[in-house]
Amino acid sequence: MLKLTHETLNDRAYAALRQGLISGTFNPGQTLVIRKLADLYGISTTPIREALQRLVAERALEMKDNRSIIVPLLSDAAFGELTDLRIAVEGTAGERAASRMPAAGLAEIQVLLSGMDRAVRAGDSASYLAMNEAFHFAIYNHAKAPIMLNIIQDLWGRVGPYLNLLMQSDAYIPQSNDAHRKIVAALEQGDGFAVRTYIEEDIRMAAVVLSAKLKEMV
């Protein structure tokens, strides 16, 4: 774990916690303890407290009546709304990226796809999920749409804590890269509409699995 520097400490603490939500470092319903987070990132409690309050104000985290702060538990309706938003925004970003993707960017995405295939064969869920995140954002970064990218990051911050559940599904794992392969093939052809279509397919396929898992948690 890299320790944070003292420069712009509040912003760095916020960025680290937000990335933790995106990457699934924190679990649904988990109580976030200021002292433990401060120890994790090697900084004082004040920047962590302020970052948590900022994330609560953005509704990425939830403050309970006893003032504890937790990773929100999503209702079925909330998860459905997030899925619809992700389909709309991420599909648009993928379509934009297809016409702006340089050769080096495409090569990076191809390498990530190969890595995800290896992770699936090895049963390495943590590596798969890390590369899955990198794969998607490597595409969205090439949309050259910073406002849209920030919206996508916010959406992933809400769903990220649940993505670990995907790799607990025997039904999902064998098909986990099917849509990714189609996305890469469409990027190779520069076909923006197809990229959008297969990103939407990927999100929907994962949502079916996650929705069932959410019902098990109720």
Q: Is 71 helix (H, G, I), strand (E, B) or coil?
A: coil
Same domain, 110 and 41: no
The single-letter DSSP state of residue 32 is: -
Give per-residue pLDDT as tens, 87-130: 999 999 999 999 999 999 999 999 999 999 999 999 999 999 99
Structure token pair of residue 140: 């969205």
Same domain, 88 and 21: no
Give per-residue pLDDT as tens, 5-58: 545 888 999 999 999 999 999 999 999 999 999 999 888 899 999 999 999 999
Distances (CA, A) of 186 to 36, 178, 194: 44, 13, 6
**Does pTM top 0.85 for this prediction?**
yes
Tokens 């910073």 — which residue? 146
pLDDT at 207: 95
**CATH number of the CATH domain containing 26:** 1.10.10.10
Does residue 1 form part of some domain?
A: no
Round to whole Å and give the CA distance between 165 and 121: 18
Structural domain total, the chain: 2
Domain range for 43 is 9-70
pLDDT at 192: 98
Round to whole Å and give the CA distance between 90 and 97: 10
Same domain, 48 and 88: no
Bridge partners, residue 28, by sequence: none
Give per-residue pLDDT as tens, 131-152: 999 999 999 999 999 999 999 9
Last residue of a domain, one of 23, 49, 70: 70
Does residue 46 form part of some domain?
A: yes
Last residue of a domain, one of 70, 93, 119: 70
Same domain, 46 and 108: no
Helix (H), strand (E) at residue 62: strand 62-63
